[in-house]
Each structure stands twice: as C-alpha cells, then as structure tokens.
Amino acid sequence: MGKVVAVCGMPGSGKGEFAQIIAKQGVPVRSMGDMVRAEVASRNLEPSPTIFGEVAADLRAKHGEEVLAVRLADEVDSLLETHQVVLIEGMRGTAEFEIFKNRWQSNFSSMAIEASRGIRFARTQSRGRSEDGDYAQFEIREKREAGWGLTELINRADFTIKNEGSLEELTFESNSWLSNFS
C-alpha cells in the first residue's frame, strides 16, 4: 500500500505552493480547500472573503467536523492503487486527522508548513484569492481554523518545513523531503 501525507498550515503558509511542487514530481494532490470552493460554487454563492469560511463551518455543523475527510478518503484510496504517495493539501482539523489516521494507520503521516504571521498575511494579499480579505478577515480565518484544531495539527506534525524564504528555497526543501520520504 502507498503512503498518504496530509499537509496543514495556517493561511498563507505555503501549503498550496508545497502541493504544486510535489505534484510536479508526479504525486497526485487533492485539496480540501478546493472541496470547499466547489461547494461554494455548487451553492451558487458569490465568492467573498467570508463565504468560504461560512460554507466550511456550515458543512462541519451539518455533517460533522470530519465531513471533508470522509468525502475525500475513497478517492485517495483509488489513487493509492496506482501511486506510491498521495498528498492531501489543506487538512485543518483534528477530526480530519483522526479519519485519515484510522483509515491509513502507519501509511499516514502529516506535514506542517510554517511561516510567520507577517509573511503569511503578505502572501494572502498578493495571491489574489477571493477568500482572502483584509487583516481583520485574516485574523477571523486564523481563529476559526485554530478552533478546528489546526494549531494542534501543526504542533504534532510528523514533518515540518519552515517557509519564510524564496519559492526556490521552498522547492529545494520540498523536493529534498520527498526524495527522503518516498
């Protein structure tokens, strides 16, 4: 059986960049954030800095904290039939971690991408996503995601990459990690 790695990190830490780098090495990536963006689109809601968090919170309230992990797990199992490593980008809650850990046991691990608050906020301002707003929205999002257990996930991750430098540095660190992991 292949290995599953779930990536966590606070908003703007570089989870998406890490996932893109790993995907270029042939590793399939599934994004939990993309699942929320798809849900917003399926509800025909206008993208805004608050709507993505509201929809994510609504999904969790109606279907349980683990809803996204449960919806994603079968697809990851299918990918494991033909790939040695599958990456899940954007794990945000301890309930999601528990679903993944129970499903894949010793074949599951977690990766935290870390960066300082100032760097992360600057990144959110430059990337142009509809879910990114001003500093007040950034703070609201951080508190919401911390409430799901994100801080705990970051602290207990199996692997950590500090991402405060250039994209080239992140690329080097990410590829080095993958070559040692797989």
Tell me the pLDDT tens digit for each residue of 65-124.
Answer: 889 899 999 999 999 999 999 999 999 889 999 999 999 999 999 999 999 999 999 888
Confidence at residue 60, expressed as pLDDT on a 0 to 100 scale: 87
The answer to whether position 182 is within a domain reads: no
Q: What is the pTM of this model?
A: 0.88
The answer to whether position 169 is within a domain reads: yes
The answer to whether position 64 is within a domain reads: yes
Tell me how far apart the alpha carbons of residues 113 and 12 are, in angstroms, rounded to a whole number. 9
The answer to whether position 130 is within a domain reads: yes
Rounded to the nearest integer, the mean pLDDT of the chain is 90
The answer to whether position 75 is within a domain reads: yes
Burial 129-150 (b: 16+ CB within 10 A, else e): eebbbeeebbeebbebbeebbb
Contact criterion met (CB below 8 Å) for 110 and 91: yes
pLDDT at 140 over 70: yes
Confidence at residue 166, expressed as pLDDT on a 0 to 100 scale: 93
pLDDT at 49 over 80: no
Tell me how far apart the alpha carbons of residues 68 and 56 are, in angstroms, rounded to a whole number. 9
pLDDT tens profile 117-128? 999 998 888 877
Confidence at residue 57, expressed as pLDDT on a 0 to 100 scale: 85
The answer to whether position 101 is within a domain reads: yes
Confidence at residue 132, expressed as pLDDT on a 0 to 100 scale: 66
* 65 or 14, higher pLDDT: 14
Tell me how far apart the alpha carbons of residues 149 and 175 are, in angstroms, rounded to a whole number. 28
Confidence at residue 178, expressed as pLDDT on a 0 to 100 scale: 94
Contact criterion met (CB below 8 Å) for 15 and 4: no
Q: Which domain holds residue 23?
A: 3-177
Q: How many domains does the chain have?
A: 1
DSSP secondary structure letters along 148-165: TTHHHHHHT-SEEEE--S
pLDDT at 130 over 70: no
Task: Supply the CATH number for residue 110's domain.
Answer: 3.40.50.300
The answer to whether position 116 is within a domain reads: yes
Confidence at residue 168, expressed as pLDDT on a 0 to 100 scale: 96
Contact criterion met (CB below 8 Å) for 111 and 8: yes
